[in-house]
Structure formats: structure tokens, C-alpha cells
């Protein structure tokens, strides 16, 4: 079985998000880059299938050379090889097109993604890839087993869960729960060393067409100063919530 | 040209997110001097509920093949009936699975997580949530048509009654790639993303056995319950309650955070709540900097007392 895991390189979760002075772009100064945390669940699931079913795992990133440390980390976690499409990702559509191209030529049985990137929060690329490939799509996946030409996926629904069987090849977008948090793989020295010699193929982008542009960006406005209420005076808190904030 | 909106229902009953999406579509229609057509799949609820928020036409898709959800089959069905150049979806799990597939089918721009009515219609430009709630993006659509998904609880439900009419469309979309094996819906539980009040708790609660007081307060307020990431990692609460950068992003009217430190990843998912109340025993907890109201003290004493006082207020 061949699995393609799509990873995006995103600002570390502790990053303060700033924009350039003219507000036209995200300011990357001083940012540490990590594998999108939701993609890490998908990657770990793929490595588990590699161990249990002898699957081969290719990681794919659409991004410029600065994303290579993140790709190497995915290799250190256990992916067999990697592909980088050398372009600055501009919107979900252009990323999805590149992923679909790689998927099509590689003949993968399953494409695993995180359900959204924690930077631009598009949540769109996985579904777009599925449609570009004409494959079924399972989103918000919190459990996955593979049995031959079929997978059984558990997806989160509002107020519950649904278990579905899906014919492979398919695109599956995962999140926390796809594997347990404690099972996420932290690369060890051996992994890190072997990642250096694993193949990382760099391909040029096939097109530059975008469908959505980020025109400008704003930071979140500051909240007014907090009103502290004494623990001995909860009547005052109730009054404030009722009369001032009008929320209860 | 009509504005189309996907009115999501669960087991035939419209979701609040559907009314929000219709309200949003109506705002676009008013800006464009147009009307709203709502599309819904196998509903049992009355179309009157959609006219109330501004849908002039309701297309009820009837298709036994769509009894179970499949993103691909639903996208195909919506594609068959939606022939406008503007399509509105709620940003629910199902709708945000359909929308990207449809965007490819129609070759439209897709803008997800939108927060406000559009800033302009041609070109279509709108403010959306980005960086997990640590920033906003003003996104412009380049294609001839646009699909948006509306962030839940952001634009809100706005009554705008029109007189409408409905039409039934019988389809038979092939749905062979996926099959639902089982479906678990916890009954009577309020949906976290739709809830107007959320009572949330963190590691400060010490253990799952102490959640009774959180649930009592939530029940009294008609609220949903949520938790911080470590709480769901340890298994004190289900994953589905985890809010934050890597969990759910929510924007209730009132967010009550009990025994949660207010780490940047947690704040990312909750800082668009309209009012935030923080209860923490540590006066230095970072969450107080992002709260509207704060109480320093022991949650085990404060929460039961607060519940009593709110009960008294409610009579
Ligand atoms: C990649 C990544 C992603 C993450 N994503 C998320 C996310 O999406 N959501 C999220 O929540 N976190 C996330 N985190 C974790 C985050 O950094 C914090 O660790 C987490 O939010 C802390 O949870 P907590 O406040 O419940 O626990 P703690 O940090 O342990 O804080 C507990 C708080 O309870 C208070 N307390 C203790 N006893 C009492 C009492 N009796 N009464 C009142 N208060 C009391 C303490 O003063 C303290 O402030 C992420 C971390 C990483 C690395």
C-alpha cells in the first residue's frame, strides 16, 4: 500500500501573529516553523500503517526551501521519502492542484491530510484534492483502519461520531483522535540521522493559478481591561453578567 | 441571479447554522438586489422556518441515496440544483466537507470561515478568520463565482421574513464509494459550536469526577461544556470538547473558563467569544489578561456558589 501524507509548515503554536506594516501579509520575522499539528496525527497514523501493513509513506509539502527542516522532521518520524513542490503556497486551490498532480502520477492508495492548517485555516485543500482526483473524501477523521481495498473511518459529526467504510483510493482528512496524543512520534537520534539520507524530491509547480487572494490582514483587537470581582462577592459577578454584559 | 444557500439539517431538522447561513445569504441578496434560494436534503422540517430568515425559494432534494452523508454525493446533488454564482454554506463539519468539492466542480473561489457580510460583491471580498483566531484576513475571490462557508455564531441569526415557495427535486445520485456502518449521536447534548453559552474547564479541576459542578452550571445556563487540551488528552473529557488552536474554535456570547491557565493555544480558539469570564486560583494566570470578568479563587468553592446565585436570579 502506498500512502501520501500532505503536510504543511506552519508557525509554531506559541507564535504571536503579526502582520507587515502595510498589513498586506503575515510577518514571518522570528517565526519557528513546525509540522501543522493536525497533519502530525495523519502522519503518525500512516507510520502505524507502515508498521502494521508494510505501507510505504511519502510526505508531500507544497512550499519553498525554508520548509525543508519540517519535511526532514517528517522523514525522521518515519516517512520513507518526500516530495516538495517548490512554490510559495498562495491559496487552497493552488495547493490542492499540486497535491492532486503528485497523487495522480504516484498511484497512491490513500491520501492523508490534516483537516485544516492552523495558519490560514482554509480547511479546503483535502476536499479539493478528492474532487480533482474523483475520489471519495472523509473529513474530520478520528479513527482509521485499513482492510485491503477498503478503509473504515470514524468521522466526527456534530454531537457524535459516524463510522463509515470507504473504497480506496480515498482522501482522508484527520484530526486529534485519529491517533492518541501520547502516540505522536518524537523523532529519535536514529530517525534524525536516517532522515538525512532519505530521498527528498523537489519538483517545480505546474501552474500559478489562484482563486482567492489575501488582500489585507488585521490583528485581533485588544479586549478592554478585565473587571476583577472578589470571590466573596459573586452577587456582583451575577449582576454584571445580567445587567452589563446581558449574557445571562 | 439568485443567491443559493445550503440549509443543513440533521435527521430532517434544520440546524441553527442553517438559519445563520440563510441570514447571511439574505444580507448578500439585499446588497445585490437579489433573492435567496435555499437547498436542503431530505428535510422533514417546514420550509416556513427558512422563509423566516429570508429564503424566497426552498429546493427540497429528495433522494434515498442521500439518507447517509457522503461529501462527494452531497456535493454532486447540490451541484445539480445550485445554478447561481454565489453559494453560502455554514462552516459545519458536513458543509465544510461538501464546499471544497463543489468549488472544484463549479470552478469557483472558495472562502471559508467568513465572519461578516461581504465588504464588496464584485470583486467578492470578505473578512474571514485566520491564524486560528489570532488574526483576520480580508479575502478576495478571483473566479467568476464564489462559495463561502460562514463561521458558526459569528454573523448570527437574523429574522427577515419573506413569503416563499418550495419545490421538490427528486434526484438519484450514485453513492457507492462510502457506506455508513454506524452512527452514534449523543442525544440531548447541546452542540458546542452552536452554543451561545459555553462552560469550560481545565486541569485545575483535578480530575473527571469533579465535572459535576461544571455540568450543573452548564445545564442551568443552557450551555454546552468544553475543556482545555490536556484534559481531553488525559481522557477526563471527550476529544470533541477540546477547544483551542488544535481543537474547536468557538464564538459563544459567554465563555466561562474554570481552572484554565489561558495558554496562547487555548486562547486562539476562544478569544472571539463575546464575553469571557475567568475563574482561577492563581491571580497571575495569563487568562485574566484576555478576560472581561475575573474571579481569583478556588473553583471548588466558587462554581457551586455561582450556580446557586444564578439559580436565584433565574427564580
Ligand atoms: C501543539 C500544541 C497545540 C496545543 N493546542 C491547544 C488547544 O487547542 N487547546 C488548549 O487548551 N491547549 C492547547 N495546547 C496546550 C496549552 O499549551 C496548555 O498546555 C493548555 O491549554 C493548558 O491547559 P489548562 O489550562 O487546563 O492546564 P494548566 O496549564 O495546568 O492550568 C491549570 C490552571 O488551573 C488553575 N487551578 C488549579 N487549581 C485550581 C482551583 N482549585 N480553582 C481554580 N483554578 C485552579 C491553575 O492556577 C492553572 O492556571 C497546545 C499545546 C501544543 C504544544
Nearest CA residue ID for atom 30, ligand 1: B203
State which H helix or E strand residue B42 sits in: none
CB distance from B42 to chain A under 8 Å?
Answer: no
Q: C-alpha dihedral over A175, B264, B267, A122, to 10 degrees?
A: -40
The pLDDT assigned to A241 comes to 98
Q: Nearest-CA residue of chain B relative to A12?
A: B265
B277: cell is 469570564
Q: How far is the CA of B202 from the centre of ligand 1 (A)?
A: 6
Nearest atom (ligand 1) to Cα of B244? 8
Q: Nearest-CA residue of chain A relative to B301?
A: A231
The pLDDT assigned to B303 comes to 98
Using left for φ > 0, alpha for ψ between -120 and 50, and beta otherwise, residue B262 falls in left
The pLDDT assigned to A16 comes to 94
Count of beta carbons in the 10 Å neighbourhood of residue B110? 33
Q: Nearest-CA residue of chain B relative to A166?
A: B178
The pLDDT assigned to B23 comes to 98
Q: What is the pTM of this model?
A: 0.97
State the pairing for strand pair A227-229/B293-296: parallel
B157: cell is 441569526
State the pairing for strand pair B178-185/A160-167: antiparallel
With beta carbons less than 8 A apart as the criterion, state whether B101 and A128 touch: yes
User: What backbone torsions phi and psi does residue A96 show, to the nearest 5 degrees?
Assistant: -60, -40
Burial bucket for residue B292 (CB in 10 Å: 0-12, 13-18, 19+): buried
Q: Which residue blocks in B113-272 are alpha helix, DSSP H?
A: 212-221, 229-234, 264-270
CB distance from B302 to chain A under 8 Å?
Answer: yes
State the pairing for strand pair A150-157/A137-147: antiparallel
Q: How far is the CA of A55 from the centre of ligand 1 (A)?
A: 37
Rounded CA-CA distance B194/A3 in Å is: 35
By mean pLDDT, which of A107-121, A131-145, B176-190, B224-238 is the weakest? Answer: B176-190
The pLDDT assigned to B92 comes to 96
The pLDDT assigned to A181 comes to 92
With beta carbons less than 8 A apart as the criterion, state whether A126 and A113 touch: yes
Q: In which residue ranges of chain B is pLDDT below 50?
A: none
The DSSP 8-state label assigned to residue A8 in this structure reads -
Q: What DSSP assignment string belongs to A54-105?
A: --EEEEEEES-GGGHHHHHHHHHHT-SEEEEEES---SHHHHHHHHHHHHHH
Residue A126, pLDDT > 70, answer: yes
B interface test, pick of A222, A226, A229 with most B CB neighbours within 10 Å: A226
Average pLDDT over all residues of chain A: 97
Rounded CA-CA distance B160/B50 in Å is: 10
With beta carbons less than 8 A apart as the criterion, state whether B218 and B226 touch: no
Mean pLDDT of A132-157: 97
Residue whose CB lies within 8 A of the most ligand 1 atoms, among B131, B134, B202, for a mutation test: B202
The pLDDT assigned to B1 comes to 60
The DSSP 8-state label assigned to residue A166 in this structure reads E
Rounded CA-CA distance B33/B285 in Å is: 50
Of the partner residues A121, A131, A159, the one whose CB lies closest to the CB of residue B130: A121
A206: cell is 505546474
B250: cell is 468557538
The DSSP 8-state label assigned to residue B200 in this structure reads E
The pLDDT assigned to B189 comes to 79
Q: Nearest-CA residue of chain B relative to A13?
A: B265
Answer yes or no: do B293 and A237 touch at CB < 8 A.
Answer: yes
B253: cell is 456570547
Smallest CA-to-CA distance from A143 within A132, A123, A157 is with A157
CA–CA distances in Å: residue B268 to residues A98, B116, B133, B134, B243: 30, 19, 5, 6, 9
Rounded CA-CA distance B178/B173 in Å is: 13
CB distance from A124 to chain B under 8 Å?
Answer: yes
Smallest CA-to-CA distance from A178 within A5, A1, A2 is with A5
Task: Spell out which residues of chain A touch residue B250, defining contact as CB-CB under 8 Å.
Answer: none
Residues 77-96 of B with CB under 8 A from A: 92-94, 96
Distance from the Cα of A95 to chain B's closest Cα (Å) equals 13
- Name the residue with cell 452531497: B74
Task: Give the angle subtended at the CA of B139 by the CAs of B137 and B144, to the nearest 5°.
Answer: 170
Answer yes or no: do A156 and B93 touch at CB < 8 A.
Answer: yes
A interface test, pick of B10, B85, B130 with most A CB neighbours within 10 Å: B130
Task: Spell out which residues of chain B touch residue A147, defining contact as CB-CB under 8 Å.
Answer: none
Contacts of B284 (CB under 8 A, 6+ apart): none
State the pairing for strand pair B120-121/B124-130: antiparallel
CB distance from A27 to chain B under 8 Å?
Answer: no
Rounded CA-CA distance B192/A243 in Å is: 25
Residue A64, pLDDT > 80, answer: yes
The DSSP 8-state label assigned to residue A163 in this structure reads E
- Name the residue with cell 443567491: B3
With beta carbons less than 8 A apart as the criterion, state whether A125 and A96 touch: yes
- Give the rounded distance of the alpha carbon of B239 from its chain centre: 17
Sign of the dihedral through C-alpha A176, A177, A179, A180: positive
Q: How far is the CA of B228 from the centre of ligand 1 (A)?
A: 6
Count of beta carbons in the 10 Å neighbourhood of residue A7? 28
Amino acid at each position: 500500500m502506498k500512502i501520501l501524507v500532505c503536510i504543511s509548515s506552519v508557525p509554531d503554536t506559541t507564535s504571536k501573529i503579526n502582520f507587515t506594516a502595510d498589513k498586506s501579509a503575515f510577518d514571518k520575522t522570528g517565526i519557528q516553523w513546525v509540522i501543522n499539528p493536525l497533519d502530525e496525527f495523519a502522519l503518525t497514523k500512516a507510520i502505524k500503517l507502515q508498521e502494521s501493513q508494510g505501507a510505504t509513506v511519502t510526505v508531500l509539502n507544497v512550499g519553498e526551501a525554508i520548509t525543508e527542516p519540517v519535511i526532514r522532521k517528517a522523514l525522521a518520524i518515519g516517512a520513507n521519502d518526500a516530495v516538495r513542490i517548490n512554490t510559495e503556497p498562495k491559496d487552497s486551490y493552488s495547493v490542492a492542484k499540486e497535491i492532486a498532480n503528485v497523487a495522480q502520477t504516484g498511484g497512491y492508495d490513500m491520501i492523508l491530510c490534516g483537516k485544516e492548517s492552523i495558519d490560514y485555516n482554509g480547511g479546503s485543500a483535502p476536499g479539493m484534492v478528492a474532487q480533482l482526483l474523483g475520489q471519495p473524501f472523509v473529513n474530520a477523521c478520528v479513527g482509521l483502519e485499513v482492510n485491503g481495498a477498503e478503509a473504515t473511518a470514524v468521522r466526527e459529526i456534530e454531537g457524535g461520531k459516524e463510522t463509515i467504510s470507504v473504497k480506496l483510493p480515498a482522501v482522508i482528512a484527520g484530526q486529534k483522535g485519529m491517533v492518541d496524543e501520547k502516540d505522536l512520534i518524537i523523532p529519535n537520534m536514529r530517525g534524525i540521522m536516517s532522515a538525512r539520507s532519505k530521498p527528498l524530491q523537489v519538483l517545480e509547480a505546474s501552474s500559478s493559478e489562484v482563486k482567492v487572494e489575501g488582500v489585507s490582514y488585521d490583528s485581533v483587537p485588544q479586549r478592554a481591561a478585565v473587571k476583577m470581582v472578589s470571590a466573596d462577592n459573586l452577587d456582583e459577578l451575577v449582576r454584571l453578567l445580567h445587567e452589563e454584559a446581558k449574557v445571562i | 441571479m439568485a443567491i443559493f444557500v445550503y440549509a443543513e439539517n440533521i435527521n430532517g431538522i434544520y440546524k441553527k447554522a442553517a438559519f445563520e447561513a440563510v441570514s447571511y445569504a439574505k444580507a448578500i441578496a439585499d446588497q445585490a438586489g437579489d433573492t435567496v434560494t435555499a437547498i436542503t436534503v431530505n428535510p422533514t422540517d417546514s420550509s416556513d422556518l427558512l422563509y423566516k430568515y429570508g429564503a424566497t425559494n426552498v429546493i427540497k432534494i429528495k433522494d434515498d441515496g442521500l439518507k447517509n452523508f457522503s461529501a462527494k454525493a452531497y456535493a454532486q446533488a447540490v451541484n445539480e440544483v445550485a445554478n447561481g454564482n454565489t453559494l453560502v454554506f455554514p462552516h459545519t463539519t458536513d458543509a465544510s466537507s461538501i464546499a471544497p468539492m463543489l468549488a472544484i466542480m463549479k470552478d469557483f473561489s472558495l472562502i471559508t470561515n467568513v465572519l461578516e457580510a461581504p465588504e464588496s460583491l464584485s470583486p467578492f471580498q470578505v473578512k474571514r478568520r485566520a491564524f486560528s483566531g489570532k488574526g483576520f484576513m480580508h479575502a478576495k475571490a478571483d473566479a467568476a463565482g464564489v462559495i463561502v462557508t460562514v463561521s458558526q455564531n459569528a454573523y448570527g441569526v437574523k429574522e427577515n421574513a419573506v413569503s416563499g415557495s418550495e419545490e421538490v427535486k427528486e434526484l438519484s445520485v450514485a453513492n457507492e464509494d462510502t457506506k455508513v456502518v454506524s452512527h452514534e449521536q449523543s442525544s440531548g447534548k447541546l452542540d458546542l459550536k452552536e452554543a451561545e453559552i459555553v462552560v469550560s474547564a481545565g486541569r485545575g479541576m483535578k480530575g473527571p469526577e469533579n465535572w459535576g459542578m461544571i455540568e450543573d452550571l452548564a445545564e442551568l445556563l443552557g450551555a454546552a461544556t468544553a475543556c482545555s487540551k490536556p484534559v481531553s488528552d488525559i481522557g477526563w473529557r471527550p476529544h470533541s470538547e477540546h477547544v483551542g488552536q488544535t481543537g474547536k474554535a468557538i464564538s459563544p456570547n459567554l465563555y466561562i473558563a474554570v481552572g484554565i491557565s489561558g495558554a496562547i493555544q487555548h486562547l486562539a480558539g476562544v478569544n472571539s467569544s463575546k464575553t469571557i469570564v475567568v475563574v482561577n486560583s492563581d491571580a497571575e494566570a495569563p487568562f485574566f489578561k484576555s478576560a472581561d470578568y475575573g474571579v481569583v479563587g478556588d473553583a471548588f468553592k466558587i462554581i457551586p456558589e455561582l450556580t446557586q446565585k444564578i439559580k436565584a436570579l433565574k427564580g
